[in-house]
Structure 1
């Protein structure tokens, strides 16, 4: 594969990612807002700093789970489980956009020959 050809595929990939991200942006942004909001609610319930709550929301939502912040209250734990489900859906949307963008870039550039 020539370098010029690879850069053309890459450019088409980024164009497709931008296109599909604009389509799913209302869903994507709502899921990000849910992560921040639930993180803030958990930080309030647990008596944490709000920044720690947002950090916990993203670490839990992205299913990383370092373990330095652990909710103790039952309601906080239920909200953390919901954050995990939300994060799995968020990751699935990112993966779907990437796969679709690769398919589009390959189709547009005719590289599947």
Structure 2
């Protein structure tokens, strides 16, 4: 039990360290997604909140379908939002896997 707590603590420490390294990229992707959400919202005459909501639901690949762009250019921007979200998610997952691998290697677990 104590070993598990130690592993978890080290994992969280490694995860935060890795996120600190990639944070400028993640934050740039978040800003990019938000800006595209504003643009899509303007094109579709949605309130600002709906544009942001659409952007992050699309970027996180949840896609509820309650808001769908009608204009072709807004749909193209939605694809860009989705790609940015996939890159962001992949980056965060990669940092998590790297942190877990480091912790397991430190403990002699391969």
Q: Which TM-score applies when normalising by structure 2?
A: 0.96
* Dislocated runs of 4+, deviation >4 Å: none
User: Which sections of structure 2, spanning at least 5 residues, go unmatched?
Assistant: none
Distance 1:18 1:107 in 2: 18
* 1:35 Cα deviation from its structure 2 partner: 1.1
* 1:108 Cα deviation from its structure 2 partner: 2.1
Partner of 2:6: 8
Deviations 1:21-69 (CA, angstroms, capped at 9, x unpaired): 0111110100011111111111111000100100000000011110000
User: Which sections of structure 1, spanning at least 5 residues, go unmatched?
Assistant: none
Partner of 1:34: 32
Q: Which TM-score applies when normalising by structure 1?
A: 0.94
Structure 2 matches for 1:80-91, cutoff 5 A?
A: 80-91=78-89
Alpha carbon RMSD of aligned pairs, Å? 1.0
